[in-house]
Structure 1
Amino acid sequence: MTRRVFRYVPFSVEQDATAEPEYEAHCVSGDETECGVESGAYSDPGPVEEWQRRHTQETGHRRYRRNFGDYAVVRPLACGGAS
């Protein structure tokens, strides 16, 4: 029989600064079916918002599903030792 000891290790979850986040949207307007047109992914929300504005202007559609994605890193916290 193998014996295991599990200890709690304090940690933090942080956004990974080495990877850019992604912003995108797709149109969910429609009565029976969604429009479904997508903005594409961008590293900044500005182009997605501009795409939404243009799509609304061209189609009258006003409802969008926005997605934000990023990468996270789990880091153990430094333990405070004796002074």
Structure 2
Amino acid sequence: MTRRVFRYVPYAIAQDEHAAPEYAARCVSGDEADCAAESGVCGHPADVEEWLRRHTQETRHTRYRRTFTDYAVLAPV
């Protein structure tokens, strides 16, 4: 008979220090359809905020969908 022992191992979830997070925004202003202009992927939230300001100045659009993406790692504690 084969015997197996399973043990609970607690893990901590953390942002991967070796992979940079990514920030982006998409304009969702518009009457019948979204404008759909996009900032593209940026390495810092300030870059996206600057894109938002410029786009608002040019178009007077004020509604955006912002995204933040990163990598997570799990490590036993």
Normalised TM-score (structure 2): 0.91
- Unmatched tracts of structure 2, length 5 or more: none
Alignment correspondent of 1:65: 65
Which is greater in Rg? 1
* 1:31-42 to 2 correspondences below 5 Å: 31-42=31-42
Alignment RMSD (CA, Å): 1.5
State the alpha-carbon separation in 2 of the partners of residues 33 and 3 from structure 1: 61
User: Post-superposition shift, 1:51?
Assistant: 0.5
Partner of 1:8: 8
TM-score by length of 1: 0.85
**CA 1:4–1:29 in 2, change beyond 3 Å: closer, same or farther?**
farther
Q: Tell me which stretches of 4 or more aligned residues in structure 1 moved more than 6 Å.
A: none
The equivalent residue for 1:43 is 43
Give the partner amino acid of 2:34: E
Count of residues in correspondence between the two structures: 77
Cα distance in 2, alignment partners of residues 29 and 8 from structure 1: 48
Q: Which amino acid aligns with 2:17?
A: A
| SS at structure 2 position matched to 1:34 | coil
Q: CA deviation at 1:2?
A: 7.0
Consecutive unaligned residues of structure 1, counting only runs of 5 or more, are 78-83
Partner of 1:52, secondary structure, is helix
Question: Residue 60 and residue 5 in structure 1: after superposition, are their counterparts in 2 closer, same or farther (change >3 A)?
Answer: same
